[in-house]
């Protein structure tokens, strides 16, 4: 491309302060440095992690100005020195939980999907190679990065470890969902829990991640998938994707875990907490069956509160674990996952509830804030 090696001036949605509307303005994007890739973003979307960062709910999320966004798909514009697994024109998906392939974590293929250098890190706001930003505004002020990706921009620069090359025939709009929400939820059902045919599942919080768990449990043949949400409208979407039962905690007169134990002869095999609420997490833990139940934490918990859990409660055989990016190793596993989505194994259409042009990004934030969207796809 004619822009190869040059600074690119393009649009980006910049966060200048907590809760302030994003400012769509012209920014400058530097060329990629060693082991970096500059990509043209074609589609991006918003998840609750972006919403949390926009609100500035934790100290780690208060670096300003900043370009948020970590769900996207696009095309490689140029590559930096040392990048050999991607080239100009490749279709790619950025990932917030990278995979360098060389560190002790990446080599422990069956132990963890974390990377020593490029794992998810909300405190990281600059590039790894030189500790600098690749974005500047019109006044030359550096603009910070977000979660290894910063996809709310026509162009962005990411470490090659945080970019996955996918099949060029894959529909890029739908592949955006693989950057975070769908991979996180479905992977938790497939990889973390390894749900088997006939097993039972409870999902607390029917947002995009929770519904992705439902999709994962459905494709594995779970016999009962219980959706739990205080929004009665979530029942319709949940049933469309695969829940067999729905519980609104506001409409029952007993604790949710008691109701689920009653429905499942003692508790579910697996529960998934996707709400980011400490009280909900305790209910999710208690609703699993003693002896073998497992509660998987997926929700983001910005609160300093600690989980109320007595060690002896674990002696009944219940376990509680967390799952990062659905235990997918991005560069190793996502290309195959993308092909499975293309083959119809996973239903992605149900997750895209709205489509808007990039300029209306603040409307997309409001839709998610109001609970009216799962994923609003923004086309650049």
- Catalytic residues, by residue number, are 47-49, 70-71, 100, 103, 106, 115, 119, 180, 375
The closest alpha carbon to 184, from 205, 211, 164, 204, belongs to: 211
Closest to 199 in 3D by CA, of 283, 274, 294: 294
Interhelix angle for 208-219 vs 234-241, to 10°?
30
User: DSSP code of 289?
Assistant: P
Q: Which of 47, 376, 348 has the alpha carbon at shortest distance from 209?
A: 47
Tokens of 380: 């650049």
Q: Tokens for 136, please give them.
A: 């500047």
DSSP secondary structure, 62-101, as one string:
--SSB----EEEEEEEEE-TT--S--TT-EEEE-SS---S
β-strands 36-45, 375-379: how paired?
antiparallel
């Amino acid at each position: 491309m004619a822009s190869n090696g040059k600074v690119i001036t393009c649009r980006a949605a910049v966060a200048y302060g907590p809760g302030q509307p994003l400012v769509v303005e012209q920014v400058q994007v530097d060329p990629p440095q060693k082991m970096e890739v500059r990509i043209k973003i074609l589609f991006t979307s918003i998840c609750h992690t972006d919403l949390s960062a926009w609100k500035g709910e934790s100290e780690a999320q208060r670096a300003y100005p900043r370009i948020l966004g970590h769900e996207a798909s696009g095309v490689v514009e140029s590559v930096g020195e040392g990048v050999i697994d991607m080239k100009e024109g490749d279709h790619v998906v950025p990932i917030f939980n990278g995979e360098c392939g060389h560190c002790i974590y990446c080599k422990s293929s069956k132990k963890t999907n974390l990377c020593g250098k490029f794992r998810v890190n909300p405190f990281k706001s600059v590039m790894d190679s030189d500790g600098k930003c690749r974005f500047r505004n019109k006044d030359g002020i550096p603009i910070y990065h977000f979660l290894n990706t910063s996809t709310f921009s026509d162009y962005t620069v990411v470490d090659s470890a945080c970019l996955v090359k996918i099949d060029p025939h894959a529909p890029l709009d739908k592949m955006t969902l693989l950057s975070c929400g769908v991979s996180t939820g479905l992977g938790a059902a497939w990889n973390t829990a390894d749900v088997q045919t006939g097993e039972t599942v409870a999902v607390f919080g029917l947002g995009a991640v929770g519904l992705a768990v439902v999709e994962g449990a459905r494709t594995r043949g779970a016999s009962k998938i219980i959706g739990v949400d205080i929004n009665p409208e979530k029942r319709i979407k949940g049933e469309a994707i695969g829940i067999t039962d729905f519980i609104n905690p506001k409409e029952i007169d007993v604790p949710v875990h008691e109701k689920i134990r009653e429905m499942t002869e003692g508790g579910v095999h697996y529960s998934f907490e996707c709400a980011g609420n400490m009280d909900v997490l305790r209910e999710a833990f208690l609703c699993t069956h003693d002896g073998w139940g497992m509660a998987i934490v997926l929700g983001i918990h910005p609160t300093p509160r600690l989980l109320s859990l007595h060690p002896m409660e674990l002696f009944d055989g219940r376990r509680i674990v967390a799952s990062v990016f659905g235990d997918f190793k991005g560069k190793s596993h996502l290309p195959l996952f993308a092909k499975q989505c293309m083959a119809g194994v996973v239903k992605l259409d149900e997750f895209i509830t709205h489509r808007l042009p990039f300029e209306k990004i603040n409307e997309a934030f409001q839709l998610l804030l109001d609970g009216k969207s799962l994923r609003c796809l923004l086309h650049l």
